[in-house]
Amino acid sequence: MKAVISAGSNVEPEHNLPEAVNRLRHHAALRVLAVSPTYRSPAVGAAGKPDFLNAALLVDTDLQPVELKRQLRNVEAALGRVRSGDRNAPRTIDLDTILYEGFVGDVDGTHIPDPDLARHPHLVVPAADVAPDWEYGDDSAPLHRLAGPFRDRITMTSNLTHEPQDRYASERSMEAVADEVYDPVLEENVRQQIQKVKSHPWIPAPIPVRGFIYDVKTGRLKEVVR
């Protein structure tokens, strides 16, 4: 089943929002089909609180809504989210299922589809980016139509580029690990080291690169098994 997940953060959001998206990308029970750009918006009902960065993901999953919610809570907890009685408290990450294909109902006190989806720019605009033709509400209006009037009320800040889930595993010719998490810093460091190695093709021996071995003869990057 397809579902739309809303993601938001106003505590170190430049780190926590991309990290949450990457964890969802590499979750064994989810296949991420699309990721929206990132949008900045003020905290709802909390004047003076830090702005949020928001995004949405379209996923395909066999998880039922209640189990999907449980998995999202696990990701939140892993990123330091602590829930309190203050609904407007700043949070490291907020992950909610706002749409689930063929489902209407309550899941542990949360209604799906989200009844506020068409009221808030930070919900409807990212959702329309990943599922523009998804029909919502009593009149079955497509999300792209609902989002139109809100687009000038929200600021796009960046793109969370979507990568195929098995990209890094396939480059290493090995199966993806269920809880594998993409580390962009590691990737960039490895790429820089490879470029340095390529500039010296006369080096015959394998060269260690932060937990990997680059074999000059074969041109392959191999993970070190300890």
Q: Mean of the pLDDT values across residues 9-37?
A: 95
Task: Judge if 18 and 76 occupy the same domain.
Answer: yes
Q: Which residue, of 125, 159, 193, is where some domain finishes?
A: 159
Total length of the chain = 226
Name the token pair of 48.
């003076």
Task: Judge if 40 and 131 occupy the same domain.
Answer: yes
Name the token pair of 18.
């991309």
- Judged against a pLDDT cut of 60, whether residue 224 lies above it is answered with no
Domain residues for 119?
2-159
Closest by Cα among 17, 12, 4, 161 to 76: 17
- Judged against a pLDDT cut of 90, whether residue 211 lies above it is answered with no
Establish if 164 belongs to a structural domain.
no
Which residue did the predictor score with more confidence, 41 or 202? 41
- Quote the mean pLDDT of the chain: 80
Domain count, the chain: 2
pLDDT digits (tens, 9 = 90+) for 172-204: 333 444 444 445 555 555 666 666 555 555 544
pTM exceeds 0.85, yes or no: no
